[in-house]
Amino acid sequence: MTNGSTELIFAADLGGTHLRAATIDERGKIHFRSKQNTPQGTDPNKIVSAIISAVREYQNEVGAAWNRLKGVSLVVPGTVNVKDGTVVKAPNLPCLDGFPLTSALTDELGLPAILENDANAAAVGEMWQGAARGCRTIICVTLGTGVGGGIILEGELWRGVDGAAAEIGHMCVDPFGGVACTCGSRGCLEVFASATAIVRMTREASPRYPASVLHASNDLTAESIFAAGLQGDELALEIFGRMGVYLGIGLANLINILNPEMIVIAGGVVNGWDLFEKHMMHQVEERAFPLLAARVKIVRAKCGDDAGLLGAARLAISNR
Ligand SMILES: [Zn+2]
Protein backbone atom coordinates (compact mmCIF):
# COMPACT_ATOMS: atom_id res chain seq x y z
CA MET A 1 0.00 0.00 0.00
CA THR A 2 1.05 3.57 -0.54
CA ASN A 3 1.26 6.23 2.13
CA GLY A 4 -1.98 7.38 3.68
CA SER A 5 -2.04 10.82 2.11
CA THR A 6 -2.48 9.76 -1.53
CA GLU A 7 -5.75 11.02 -2.93
CA LEU A 8 -7.73 8.56 -5.01
CA ILE A 9 -10.46 8.54 -7.64
CA PHE A 10 -12.93 5.68 -7.74
CA ALA A 11 -13.21 4.90 -11.47
CA ALA A 12 -15.89 2.53 -12.78
CA ASP A 13 -16.15 1.20 -16.33
CA LEU A 14 -19.71 0.21 -17.04
CA GLY A 15 -19.65 -2.28 -19.90
CA GLY A 16 -22.62 -4.07 -21.39
CA THR A 17 -21.41 -7.28 -19.69
CA HIS A 18 -19.04 -6.34 -16.86
CA LEU A 19 -18.77 -3.52 -14.39
CA ARG A 20 -15.07 -3.03 -13.62
CA ALA A 21 -13.85 -0.61 -11.01
CA ALA A 22 -10.56 0.59 -9.58
CA THR A 23 -9.16 3.25 -7.30
CA ILE A 24 -6.48 5.24 -9.09
CA ASP A 25 -4.09 7.88 -7.77
CA GLU A 26 -2.87 11.02 -9.46
CA ARG A 27 0.18 9.26 -10.85
CA GLY A 28 -2.01 6.72 -12.62
CA LYS A 29 -1.27 3.88 -10.20
CA ILE A 30 -4.13 1.43 -9.76
CA HIS A 31 -4.75 0.30 -6.17
CA PHE A 32 -7.95 -1.59 -5.41
CA ARG A 33 -9.79 -3.41 -8.23
CA SER A 34 -13.18 -5.09 -8.51
CA LYS A 35 -15.23 -6.76 -11.24
CA GLN A 36 -18.86 -7.90 -11.30
CA ASN A 37 -21.53 -8.60 -13.87
CA THR A 38 -23.42 -5.53 -15.05
CA PRO A 39 -27.03 -5.78 -13.80
CA GLN A 40 -29.39 -6.33 -16.72
CA GLY A 41 -33.03 -5.29 -16.96
CA THR A 42 -35.06 -2.13 -16.95
CA ASP A 43 -34.21 -0.62 -13.55
CA PRO A 44 -31.31 1.88 -13.64
CA ASN A 45 -31.17 1.85 -9.84
CA LYS A 46 -29.75 -1.67 -9.99
CA ILE A 47 -26.74 -0.24 -11.82
CA VAL A 48 -26.43 2.54 -9.25
CA SER A 49 -26.55 -0.10 -6.46
CA ALA A 50 -23.88 -2.18 -8.19
CA ILE A 51 -21.51 0.80 -8.39
CA ILE A 52 -22.21 1.69 -4.76
CA SER A 53 -21.57 -1.89 -3.66
CA ALA A 54 -18.16 -1.73 -5.40
CA VAL A 55 -17.37 1.48 -3.49
CA ARG A 56 -18.49 -0.15 -0.22
CA GLU A 57 -16.31 -3.17 -0.96
CA TYR A 58 -13.34 -0.83 -1.29
CA GLN A 59 -14.27 1.03 1.89
CA ASN A 60 -14.51 -2.23 3.84
CA GLU A 61 -11.12 -3.30 2.56
CA VAL A 62 -9.23 -0.13 3.51
CA GLY A 63 -11.16 0.92 6.64
CA ALA A 64 -10.66 4.53 7.74
CA ALA A 65 -8.31 5.19 4.81
CA TRP A 66 -11.33 5.30 2.51
CA ASN A 67 -11.55 9.04 3.09
CA ARG A 68 -8.72 9.38 0.56
CA LEU A 69 -11.45 8.95 -2.09
CA LYS A 70 -12.03 12.35 -3.64
CA GLY A 71 -14.46 11.55 -6.39
CA VAL A 72 -16.19 9.01 -8.57
CA SER A 73 -15.72 8.86 -12.35
CA LEU A 74 -17.81 6.66 -14.58
CA VAL A 75 -17.26 5.35 -18.07
CA VAL A 76 -20.44 4.58 -20.01
CA PRO A 77 -20.81 2.85 -23.41
CA GLY A 78 -22.92 5.50 -25.08
CA THR A 79 -23.60 9.19 -25.50
CA VAL A 80 -23.45 11.17 -22.29
CA ASN A 81 -24.16 14.73 -21.23
CA VAL A 82 -20.97 15.56 -19.39
CA LYS A 83 -22.33 18.86 -18.05
CA ASP A 84 -25.36 17.49 -16.20
CA GLY A 85 -24.12 13.92 -15.66
CA THR A 86 -26.96 12.30 -17.59
CA VAL A 87 -26.71 9.31 -19.90
CA VAL A 88 -28.26 10.36 -23.21
CA LYS A 89 -28.26 7.01 -25.02
CA ALA A 90 -26.57 3.72 -24.18
CA PRO A 91 -27.58 1.09 -26.80
CA ASN A 92 -26.29 -1.85 -24.72
CA LEU A 93 -27.75 -0.55 -21.43
CA PRO A 94 -31.01 1.07 -22.53
CA CYS A 95 -32.31 1.34 -18.95
CA LEU A 96 -29.85 4.22 -18.52
CA ASP A 97 -31.23 6.34 -21.38
CA GLY A 98 -32.04 9.75 -19.92
CA PHE A 99 -30.96 8.69 -16.41
CA PRO A 100 -29.13 11.22 -14.14
CA LEU A 101 -26.39 8.79 -13.15
CA THR A 102 -23.95 11.12 -11.43
CA SER A 103 -26.51 12.81 -9.19
CA ALA A 104 -27.84 9.40 -8.09
CA LEU A 105 -24.30 8.43 -7.03
CA THR A 106 -23.48 11.75 -5.39
CA ASP A 107 -26.71 11.58 -3.34
CA GLU A 108 -25.77 8.14 -2.08
CA LEU A 109 -22.02 8.55 -1.59
CA GLY A 110 -21.59 12.25 -0.81
CA LEU A 111 -18.76 12.44 -3.34
CA PRO A 112 -18.54 14.44 -6.57
CA ALA A 113 -19.17 12.27 -9.63
CA ILE A 114 -18.59 12.72 -13.36
CA LEU A 115 -19.19 10.53 -16.38
CA GLU A 116 -17.69 10.11 -19.82
CA ASN A 117 -18.20 8.06 -22.98
CA ASP A 118 -16.08 4.88 -22.99
CA ALA A 119 -14.07 5.54 -26.15
CA ASN A 120 -13.36 9.14 -25.11
CA ALA A 121 -12.12 7.91 -21.74
CA ALA A 122 -9.91 5.32 -23.45
CA ALA A 123 -8.31 8.07 -25.57
CA VAL A 124 -7.56 10.09 -22.44
CA GLY A 125 -6.18 6.99 -20.68
CA GLU A 126 -3.85 6.17 -23.58
CA MET A 127 -2.57 9.75 -23.68
CA TRP A 128 -2.03 9.83 -19.91
CA GLN A 129 -0.49 6.42 -19.27
CA GLY A 130 -0.29 4.52 -22.55
CA ALA A 131 0.88 4.64 -26.15
CA ALA A 132 0.26 8.38 -26.66
CA ARG A 133 2.17 9.74 -23.64
CA GLY A 134 3.67 13.09 -24.54
CA CYS A 135 1.35 13.65 -27.52
CA ARG A 136 -1.17 16.51 -27.76
CA THR A 137 -3.31 15.67 -30.80
CA ILE A 138 -4.37 12.07 -31.17
CA ILE A 139 -7.19 9.83 -32.33
CA CYS A 140 -7.99 6.62 -30.50
CA VAL A 141 -9.99 3.97 -32.35
CA THR A 142 -11.40 1.14 -30.23
CA LEU A 143 -12.14 -2.08 -32.10
CA GLY A 144 -14.38 -4.19 -29.86
CA THR A 145 -17.93 -5.49 -30.17
CA GLY A 146 -18.47 -2.18 -31.97
CA VAL A 147 -16.02 0.49 -33.11
CA GLY A 148 -15.60 3.55 -30.90
CA GLY A 149 -13.51 6.66 -31.21
CA GLY A 150 -12.00 9.44 -29.16
CA ILE A 151 -10.40 12.60 -30.54
CA ILE A 152 -8.05 14.77 -28.48
CA LEU A 153 -7.03 18.09 -30.04
CA GLU A 154 -4.26 20.11 -28.38
CA GLY A 155 -4.75 18.14 -25.17
CA GLU A 156 -8.54 18.60 -25.01
CA LEU A 157 -11.18 15.96 -25.72
CA TRP A 158 -13.29 17.00 -28.69
CA ARG A 159 -16.85 16.16 -27.66
CA GLY A 160 -18.76 18.16 -30.27
CA VAL A 161 -21.62 20.54 -29.50
CA ASP A 162 -23.87 17.72 -28.24
CA GLY A 163 -21.24 15.47 -26.68
CA ALA A 164 -21.55 12.91 -29.44
CA ALA A 165 -18.45 13.61 -31.55
CA ALA A 166 -15.86 11.05 -32.66
CA GLU A 167 -18.29 8.33 -33.73
CA ILE A 168 -15.52 6.97 -35.90
CA GLY A 169 -17.22 3.59 -36.16
CA HIS A 170 -20.10 5.18 -38.03
CA MET A 171 -18.08 6.81 -40.78
CA CYS A 172 -19.29 5.31 -44.05
CA VAL A 173 -16.59 3.33 -45.85
CA ASP A 174 -18.84 1.41 -48.29
CA PRO A 175 -21.74 3.21 -49.94
CA PHE A 176 -22.67 0.39 -52.33
CA GLY A 177 -24.65 -2.48 -50.84
CA GLY A 178 -23.08 -1.69 -47.49
CA VAL A 179 -24.12 -3.90 -44.60
CA ALA A 180 -26.81 -2.50 -42.27
CA CYS A 181 -25.44 -1.02 -39.05
CA THR A 182 -27.03 -0.78 -35.59
CA CYS A 183 -27.01 3.02 -35.94
CA GLY A 184 -29.57 2.86 -38.76
CA SER A 185 -27.12 3.65 -41.56
CA ARG A 186 -25.31 1.23 -43.88
CA GLY A 187 -21.69 0.53 -44.73
CA CYS A 188 -20.26 2.02 -41.51
CA LEU A 189 -16.68 1.18 -40.51
CA GLU A 190 -18.13 -0.76 -37.56
CA VAL A 191 -19.70 -3.38 -39.83
CA PHE A 192 -16.25 -4.18 -41.29
CA ALA A 193 -13.77 -3.66 -38.47
CA SER A 194 -15.44 -4.75 -35.20
CA ALA A 195 -15.14 -8.18 -33.59
CA THR A 196 -18.78 -8.77 -34.56
CA ALA A 197 -17.97 -7.88 -38.17
CA ILE A 198 -15.00 -10.24 -38.33
CA VAL A 199 -17.19 -13.14 -37.27
CA ARG A 200 -19.96 -12.17 -39.74
CA MET A 201 -17.55 -11.69 -42.66
CA THR A 202 -15.93 -15.06 -41.89
CA ARG A 203 -19.32 -16.83 -41.98
CA GLU A 204 -20.20 -15.08 -45.24
CA ALA A 205 -16.93 -16.00 -46.96
CA SER A 206 -16.61 -19.53 -45.58
CA PRO A 207 -18.29 -21.35 -48.54
CA ARG A 208 -15.42 -20.13 -50.73
CA TYR A 209 -12.87 -21.80 -48.44
CA PRO A 210 -13.97 -25.44 -47.97
CA ALA A 211 -10.56 -26.39 -46.56
CA SER A 212 -10.61 -23.78 -43.77
CA VAL A 213 -10.07 -25.09 -40.23
CA LEU A 214 -12.76 -22.64 -39.14
CA HIS A 215 -15.52 -24.92 -40.51
CA ALA A 216 -14.91 -27.19 -37.53
CA SER A 217 -15.42 -24.38 -35.04
CA ASN A 218 -18.85 -24.16 -33.37
CA ASP A 219 -17.97 -21.02 -31.50
CA LEU A 220 -16.41 -18.57 -33.94
CA THR A 221 -14.87 -15.50 -32.32
CA ALA A 222 -12.54 -12.80 -33.61
CA GLU A 223 -9.89 -14.38 -31.38
CA SER A 224 -10.32 -17.90 -32.84
CA ILE A 225 -10.28 -16.47 -36.38
CA PHE A 226 -7.07 -14.59 -35.57
CA ALA A 227 -5.52 -17.79 -34.18
CA ALA A 228 -6.41 -19.61 -37.41
CA GLY A 229 -4.85 -16.79 -39.42
CA LEU A 230 -1.59 -17.16 -37.53
CA GLN A 231 -1.57 -20.80 -38.64
CA GLY A 232 -1.96 -19.67 -42.25
CA ASP A 233 -5.70 -20.34 -42.68
CA GLU A 234 -6.63 -18.58 -45.92
CA LEU A 235 -10.18 -17.72 -44.90
CA ALA A 236 -8.94 -15.99 -41.74
CA LEU A 237 -6.21 -14.20 -43.69
CA GLU A 238 -8.71 -12.88 -46.22
CA ILE A 239 -11.03 -11.57 -43.51
CA PHE A 240 -8.31 -9.75 -41.55
CA GLY A 241 -6.99 -8.40 -44.86
CA ARG A 242 -10.39 -6.96 -45.75
CA MET A 243 -10.87 -5.61 -42.26
CA GLY A 244 -7.48 -3.88 -42.56
CA VAL A 245 -8.45 -2.32 -45.90
CA TYR A 246 -11.65 -0.81 -44.50
CA LEU A 247 -9.88 0.37 -41.35
CA GLY A 248 -7.10 1.95 -43.42
CA ILE A 249 -9.65 3.84 -45.55
CA GLY A 250 -11.26 5.19 -42.39
CA LEU A 251 -7.90 6.19 -40.91
CA ALA A 252 -6.81 7.92 -44.11
CA ASN A 253 -9.98 10.05 -43.95
CA LEU A 254 -9.26 10.96 -40.33
CA ILE A 255 -5.61 11.75 -41.09
CA ASN A 256 -6.55 14.10 -43.93
CA ILE A 257 -9.14 15.90 -41.82
CA LEU A 258 -7.36 16.16 -38.46
CA ASN A 259 -3.60 15.82 -39.15
CA PRO A 260 -2.99 13.94 -35.86
CA GLU A 261 0.39 13.11 -34.33
CA MET A 262 -0.74 9.62 -33.48
CA ILE A 263 -3.58 7.16 -33.99
CA VAL A 264 -3.90 4.58 -31.23
CA ILE A 265 -5.74 1.37 -32.10
CA ALA A 266 -7.33 -0.21 -29.02
CA GLY A 267 -9.84 -2.95 -28.18
CA GLY A 268 -9.82 -6.73 -28.39
CA VAL A 269 -9.51 -6.87 -32.21
CA VAL A 270 -6.08 -5.25 -31.94
CA ASN A 271 -4.81 -8.75 -31.09
CA GLY A 272 -5.11 -9.38 -34.82
CA TRP A 273 -2.63 -6.54 -35.56
CA ASP A 274 -0.05 -8.76 -37.27
CA LEU A 275 -2.68 -9.92 -39.76
CA PHE A 276 -4.27 -6.54 -40.60
CA GLU A 277 -1.43 -4.03 -40.16
CA LYS A 278 0.05 -4.14 -43.67
CA HIS A 279 -3.38 -3.89 -45.32
CA MET A 280 -4.32 -0.93 -43.12
CA MET A 281 -1.00 0.82 -43.73
CA HIS A 282 -1.22 0.25 -47.49
CA GLN A 283 -4.55 2.12 -47.62
CA VAL A 284 -3.17 4.94 -45.51
CA GLU A 285 -0.19 5.27 -47.87
CA GLU A 286 -2.48 5.18 -50.91
CA ARG A 287 -5.12 7.62 -49.65
CA ALA A 288 -3.77 10.04 -47.05
CA PHE A 289 -1.75 13.13 -48.01
CA PRO A 290 1.91 11.99 -48.03
CA LEU A 291 3.07 14.68 -45.62
CA LEU A 292 0.36 13.83 -43.10
CA ALA A 293 0.78 10.07 -43.55
CA ALA A 294 4.52 10.39 -42.94
CA ARG A 295 3.87 12.42 -39.79
CA VAL A 296 1.30 10.22 -38.07
CA LYS A 297 2.30 7.23 -35.98
CA ILE A 298 -0.27 4.43 -36.04
CA VAL A 299 0.28 2.21 -33.03
CA ARG A 300 -1.33 -0.39 -30.78
CA ALA A 301 -2.80 0.74 -27.48
CA LYS A 302 -0.84 -0.04 -24.34
CA CYS A 303 -3.35 0.22 -21.48
CA GLY A 304 -5.50 -2.76 -22.49
CA ASP A 305 -8.76 -3.02 -20.54
CA ASP A 306 -7.58 -0.32 -18.13
CA ALA A 307 -7.61 2.54 -20.67
CA GLY A 308 -11.16 3.62 -19.82
CA LEU A 309 -10.59 3.42 -16.06
CA LEU A 310 -7.36 5.42 -16.33
CA GLY A 311 -8.98 8.02 -18.57
CA ALA A 312 -11.91 8.35 -16.17
CA ALA A 313 -9.52 8.95 -13.29
CA ARG A 314 -7.51 11.50 -15.28
CA LEU A 315 -10.64 13.43 -16.20
CA ALA A 316 -11.78 13.49 -12.56
CA ILE A 317 -8.35 14.67 -11.38
CA SER A 318 -8.17 17.48 -13.95
CA ASN A 319 -11.76 18.40 -13.04
CA ARG A 320 -10.94 19.06 -9.39
ZN1 LIG B 1 -23.30 2.87 -38.04
Q: Rg for the chain (alpha carbons), in Å?
A: 20
**Ligand 1 centre from 199 Cα, in Å?**
17
Beta carbons of 166 and 119 less than 8 angstroms apart: yes
Quick one: average pLDDT of 222-241? 97
Q: What is the pLDDT of residue 94?
A: 93
Task: Compute, in angstroms, the gap from residue 228 CA to the centroid of ligand 1.
Answer: 28
What does the DSSP 8-state code read for residue 313?
Answer: H
Q: What is the pLDDT of residue 149?
A: 97
pLDDT given for residue 4 in this prediction: 55
Per-residue pLDDT of 242-270, as tens digits, reads 999 999 999 999 999 999 999 999 999 99
Q: What pLDDT is stored for residue 1 in this prediction?
A: 44
- pTM equals 0.94
pLDDT by residue (tens digit) across 269-293?
A: 999 999 999 999 999 999 999 999 9
Amino acid 307: pLDDT: 97
**Ligand 1 centroid to residue 311 C-alpha, Å:** 25
Mean pLDDT of 62-81: 92
Per-residue pLDDT band at 5 (split at 50, 70, 90): low
pLDDT value, residue 137: 98
Letter string b/e over residues 279-303, b meaning 16 or more CB atoms within 10 A of that residue's CB: bbeebbeebbeeebbeebebbebbb
Q: Residue 2 pLDDT > 50, yes or no?
A: no
Mean local confidence (pLDDT), 78-99 = 94
Contacts 24+ apart (CB under 8 A), 19-25: 19/47, 19/50, 19/51, 19/54, 20/305, 20/309, 21/51, 21/54, 21/55, 21/58, 21/309, 22/306, 22/309, 22/313, 23/58, 23/69, 24/309, 24/310, 24/313
Q: Give me ligand 1 centre to Cα 186, in Å.
A: 6
**Please, are residues 249 and 285 in contact by the beta-carbon 8 Å criterion?**
no
Tell me the helices (H) and strands (E) count for the chain, helix number first: 10, 12
Least confident of 14-18, 202-206, 285-289: 14-18
* CA 165 to ligand 1 center in whole angstroms: 13
Per-residue pLDDT at 23? 97
Tell whether the model's pLDDT for residue 205 goes beyond 90: yes
**Separation of CA 195 and ligand 1 centre (Å):** 14
What does the pLDDT average to over 87-94?
Answer: 91
Above 50 in pLDDT, residue 214? Answer: yes
64/75 Cα distance (integer angstroms): 27
Residue 39 is classified by DSSP as: P
